[in-house]
Amino acid sequence: MEERSILSLRERLRRRELSAEELTRYFLERIERLDPKVKAYITVTPEEALAQAREADRRLSSGEDLPLLGIPVAIKDNICTRGVRTTCASRILENFVPPYDATVVERLKAAGAVILGKTNLDEFAMGSSTENSAFFPTRNPWNLERVPGGSSGGSAAAVSAWLCAGALGSDTGGSIRQPASFCGVVGFKPTYGRVSRYGLVAFASSLDQIGPLSRTVADAALLLQVIGGPDPRDSTSYPEPQPDYLSELERSPEGLRIGIPRECFSEGLSEEVRRVLDGALQAVKDMGCEIKEVSLPHLEYALPAYYIIAPAEASSNLARYDGVKYGLRVSGRDLMDMYKKTRSQGFGPEVKRRIMLGTYALSAGYYEAFYRKASQIRTLIIRDFEEAFSEVDLILMPASPTPAFRLGEKTDDPLQMYLSDIYTIPVNLAGLPGLSLPVGFTEEGLPVGVQIIGPQLADAPVLRLGHTLEKTLGLNLQPPLE
């Protein structure tokens, strides 16, 4: 694992043992050979990547030092890339080529990264398995009959199968952390506002947050350092500068008080996941942390509240896809007919379900019963966490109730699919930082992740506990496909 990390590749590039072009060709060759099985990428951009790599080599040889100089990464296809198709895995944006880069992409480029391509997702990031992609499902590299999770399933699978050194995903209700857990990689959802959403195609704006997927916690810290920080183009971005995440990692977690929410370890959690998490908990104790039981009494209402709030925001955000300014247009008899045809042919079934749910929940007469109620629940959940964090520094809980499930297993039952995010959604509702870290395997050899949660802006302590736990456990996570 030490070898396969951004930090170790960076060392080798700096020492000129390896050129950025060689490294980029290495990943492109793996993508060509292995991605037909995994199907992590929607678009691969070999020419652009090689040009960026040669530029990185020029800068490396002139002694320039940038945080990601020559490091090949992948980007979820709901994050805008100038001149490179950004589809959101939707027919409605199948041929959309953004005229600008998202802030995070601008920052990756400024840090010298090489962009290999755009990764698959559930359409508009709505889903938990990447099966809602309008193009094709992605497969879990650990078992090709299983889903990689979602919605950032393409990014998680690409990191897991070593088809890129690191990747960006987005997380509205668990879309970075749940696929990270399914694919045996690290996934981090920063505090809401840490990372600019400018250029992220909006799903539910009060919940959406971009974050890294990587093979190590230190790599996640490095990626966050590059993409995060204030951005005047996103009014919700947090105005203060970021801490130095990498140097914070080295501080000892000894004495930290770790809360275990009682409600998370009851029914619904698979036995195998529980067994693996028990091992992780023991390791945390051995590290000198104090373990305390805490309570999140409103946890059970998080999922229903999310499935009002997220669709309500989505129904409004997705109103812009009407065939007029960009994206698919299907002509009709008149304007109304054009709208109808464009939207009925452009959106897939899950996206339509969300638009209908959200429109209904916001309509006159129902707003009080649904949207307002859900917002009140959101406040209760925020308070639950505040209460818990008055007693402990960080919280440890499952990332997902089960390991990766089979393709097709939940596609006919939206509620079962939604339940996959039961442990991740409350964190988005409260705007907190959440890390998913691989901590073991099931008997069948499927990875299991644990989730570490902190109070708002405690991104650094969350990463620090994750980093120490990762080193303590020393799991051997070789890419499952060679």
Does residue number 123 form part of the binding site for ligand GLN (CB under 6 A)?
no
- Contact between 126 and ligand GLN by CB under 6 A: the answer reads yes
Considering 5, 19, 39, 76, which one is annotated as catalytic?
76
What are the phi and psi torsion angles at 223 (to 5°)?
A: -60, -40
How far is 157 from 404, CA to CA, in rounded Å? 12
- The count of other CB atoms within 10 Å of the CB of residue 272 is 17
151 is catalytic: yes
Name the β-bridge partners of 207: none
Of the pair 71, 125, the CB lying nearest ligand GLN is at 125
Member of 28, 80, 125, 202 binding ligand GLN (CB under 6 A): 125
Taking the complex as a whole, the smallest distance from the CB of residue 101 to ligand GLN amounts, in Å, to: 21
| 37 annotated active-site | no
Q: Specify the length of the chain in residues.
A: 482
CA separation for the pair 36, 32 (Å, rounded): 7
Does residue number 310 form part of the binding site for ligand GLN (CB under 6 A)? Answer: yes
Nearer to ligand GLN, 175 or 196 (CB): 175
Q: Which listed residue (106, 313, 384, 421) binds ligand GLN by CB under 6 A?
A: 421
Residue 199 binding ligand GLN, by CB under 6 A: no
Residue 155 CA: distances (Å) to CA of 27, 53, 151, 204, 361: 14, 20, 9, 20, 32
Closer residue to ligand GLN, CB minimum distance, 46 or 414: 414
Closest distance of CB 400 from ligand GLN, Å: 10
Taking the C-alpha atoms of residue 206 and residue 409, their distance in angstroms, rounded to an integer, is 30
The reply on whether position 172 binds ligand GLN by CB under 6 A is yes
**Residue 159 or residue 281: which is nearer to ligand GLN going by CB?**
159
User: Which phi and psi angles does 74 have, rounded to 5°?
Assistant: -125, 155
Residue 169 binding ligand GLN, by CB under 6 A: no
Among residues 73 and 176, whose Cβ is nearest to ligand GLN? 176
Q: Tell me which residue of 202, 198, 178 sits closest to 189, measured CA to CA.
A: 178
Cα-based angle 434, 109, 174 (whole degrees, multiple of 5): 20
Return all residues near 300 (Cβ < 8 A) that are at least 6 apart.
263
In this structure, the number of other CB atoms found within 10 A of the CB of residue 453 comes to: 26
Q: Which of 173, 199, 358, 434 binds ligand GLN (CB under 6 A)?
A: 173
129 in contact with ligand GLN (CB under 6 A) = no
Q: How far is the CB of 125 from ligand GLN (least distance, A)?
A: 4
CB of residue 138 to ligand GLN, shortest distance in Å: 15
Which residue is catalytic, options 90, 128, 151, 400? 151
- Residue 175 beta carbon to ligand GLN: minimum distance, rounded to whole angstroms: 3
Catalytic site residue from 175, 196, 315, 436: 175
Q: Give φ, ψ of 72 to 5 degrees.
A: -80, 125
Task: Tell me: does residue 175 bind ligand GLN (CB under 6 A).
Answer: yes
Given the rule CB under 6 A, which of 32-40, 44-52, 123-131, 382-390 is the region that contacts ligand GLN? 123-131
Site for ligand GLN in 82-101 (CB under 6 A): none
Which residues are within 8 A (CB) of 213 and not within 5 positions of it... i.e. 6 or more apart? 152, 155, 156, 159, 166, 167, 168, 169, 176, 179, 180, 185, 186, 187, 188, 220
Minimum CB–partner distance for residue 148 and ligand GLN (Å): 13
For residue 127, state whether it binds ligand GLN (rule: CB under 6 A). yes
| Cα distance between residue 116 and residue 461, in whole Å | 31
Is residue 189 annotated as a catalytic residue, yes or no? Answer: no
Q: Which is nearer to ligand GLN, 120 or 128 (CB)?
A: 128
Which of 81, 128, 237, 436 touches ligand GLN by CB under 6 A?
Answer: 128
Q: What angle do CA 84, 161, 211 make, to 5 degrees?
A: 55
Establish if 137 lies at the interface with ligand GLN (CB under 6 A).
no
First to last CA, the chain: 15
The nearer residue to ligand GLN, 19 or 130, going by C-beta atoms, is: 130
Compute the distance between CA of residue 68 and CA of residue 356 in angstroms, rounded to an integer: 42
Enumerate binding residues for ligand GLN (CB under 6 A): 125-128, 151, 171-175, 203, 310, 421
Which active-site residues does the annotation give?
76, 151, 175
